[in-house]
Amino acid sequence: MKIKRHNAAFAVLAAGALVLAGCGTDQNVPQGAANPALDKLQVECGTKSLSAEGSSAQKNAMDVFSRDYSIKCPGQTVNYTKSGSGKGVAGFTAGQIDFGGSDSPLDAEEGEVAKAAERCKGNPAWNIPMVFGPVAMAYNLPGVDNLALNADLIRKIYMGEIKQWDDPAIKALNPDAKLPSIPVVPFFRSDESGTTSNFQKYLSTATNGAFTGEGKTFRGGPGVGQGRDGSDQVAQSVEATEGGITYVEWSYPRNLGLGIAKIDSGSGPVELNPQTVGKAIEEAKIEGEGNDLRVDLKSIYGNKEAGVYPIVLNTYELVCSKGYDPETAKSVKAFLTVAANADPAQLEEAGYVALPERFKGKVLDAVNAIQ
């Protein structure tokens, strides 16, 4: 029997799920009242509707943002195409769209920083981290509704070193749990996935390099686990399999009623919720200079402080610091201001986490500096 967890907020959701992965859906956008903060929000609306393209990970957040923007700036729209981060970067640097969406910041070694500066008429482009969302360790374990894991246990599961749920190493972290003597059945993404890439970065960072897999293709132990195409498929496979476990975006296990493991980074088990994810975001270090807000994900994945949930993804909006025509600059700034002030409850319904106040201040400073 899987663990059912009901949440009243989810009554307003469609049956589908959010994406924070390589593939997206459009089924989990909150329906209902608009952001209550819009009436008090001060923005200077432009006259130009915007075009954007890129990361499917942020598509449902973009739908929330775009709805609010159209309400705040009547007649203005944002046409966001979920085509993948690569196309978002390419479209932005080529000047085909007003801003791009990407799971990763612009890469200097790949020439993206130089191309973006050329597109911005000799001015630097900025990476603005606008969308954050947690990755859950979702499980289906009879009789266990309070499971804790750490990076080393997760590594051992995906390397095939832990094969039974009543393994002594799991028992040591869960002394009060009635762990059944059934096989651990790990599922992973068989398609190329931004979620996989970040999950592997987390495991590598949190295990001090003991996990060596990297990139968008999952690289666990030989013959360990079962691959599935897409976030919906790994989540549904866990739902159908007693003993199943997977890494997947937050909304999927919530919608399916699966268990979500607490993560212990060394200071005690931490539940996945907006507060613990928000603390991780707020304490993240910035690698970029000035208003180029590239996030050092290792500062999140390696954070061992109490109350921090460490498995968090972020995606960027790629914008020109200068070089837009006046109306485009005005519209881009208005849209991003609305996005940064999205309603936390509505974002949570879609599986994202709102920007913590201190971090939001950095984002808004960057947005306000666009010319």
> Quick one: which of 286, 265, 283 has its CA closest to 203?
265
Q: How confident is the model at residue 193 (pLDDT cuts 50, 70, 90)?
A: confident
Q: Are residues 168 and 147 in the same domain?
A: yes
| Per-residue pLDDT tens digits for 284-299 | 999 989 999 999 999 9
Distance of alpha carbon 29 from alpha carbon 317, whole angstroms: 19
State the average pLDDT over residues 245-267.
95
Is residue 226 predicted with pLDDT exceeding 70? yes
Q: Are residues 203 and 127 in the same domain?
A: no
Q: How confident is the model at residue 251 (pLDDT cuts 50, 70, 90)?
A: confident
Q: Are residues 340 and 262 in the same domain?
A: no
> Quick one: which of 135, 61, 125 has its CA closest to 93?
125
State the average pLDDT over residues 157-167.
98
What are the residues whose beta carbons fall under 8 Å from the beta carbon of 88, sequence distance 6 or more?
52, 53, 54, 55, 97, 100, 101, 102, 318
What are the residues whose beta carbons fall under 8 Å from the beta carbon of 108, sequence distance 6 or more?
114
Q: Are residues 269 and 139 in the same domain?
A: yes
Q: Is residue 306 in some structural domain?
A: no
Q: Is residue 259 in some structural domain?
A: yes
Q: Are residues 121 and 140 in the same domain?
A: no
Q: Is residue 338 in some structural domain?
A: yes
Q: Is residue 30 in some structural domain?
A: yes
Q: Is residue 119 in some structural domain?
A: yes
Q: Are residues 130 and 156 in the same domain?
A: no
Distance of alpha carbon 149 from alpha carbon 359, whole angstroms: 28
Q: Are residues 128 and 141 in the same domain?
A: no
Range of the domain at 338: 8-134+284-295+313-368
Q: Is residue 308 in some structural domain?
A: no
State the average pLDDT over residues 160-178.
98
Quote the number of domains for the chain: 2
Q: Is residue 334 in some structural domain?
A: yes
Q: Which two tokens stand for residue 228?
A: 């599935």
Is residue 13 predicted with pLDDT exceeding 80? no
Distances (CA, A) of 11 to 31, 58, 156: 10, 22, 37
Q: Are residues 22 and 95 in the same domain?
A: yes
Q: Is residue 39 in some structural domain?
A: yes
Q: Are residues 259 and 289 in the same domain?
A: no
State the average pLDDT over residues 98-117.
94
Q: How confident is the model at residue 20 (pLDDT cuts 50, 70, 90)?
A: very low
Q: Are residues 43 and 88 in the same domain?
A: yes
Percent of the chain with pLDDT over 70: 91
Is residue 332 predicted with pLDDT exceeding 90? yes
Query: Is 0.85 topped by the overall pTM?
Result: no
Of 10-24, 137-151, 186-200, where does mean pLDDT reach its minimum?
10-24
The CATH number for 242's domain is: 3.40.190.10
Q: Are residues 100 and 139 in the same domain?
A: no
Q: Are residues 228 and 291 in the same domain?
A: no
| Per-residue pLDDT tens digits for 28-86 | 445 545 688 898 899 999 888 999 999 888 888 999 999 999 999 999 999 999 888 88
State the average pLDDT over residues 95-105.
94
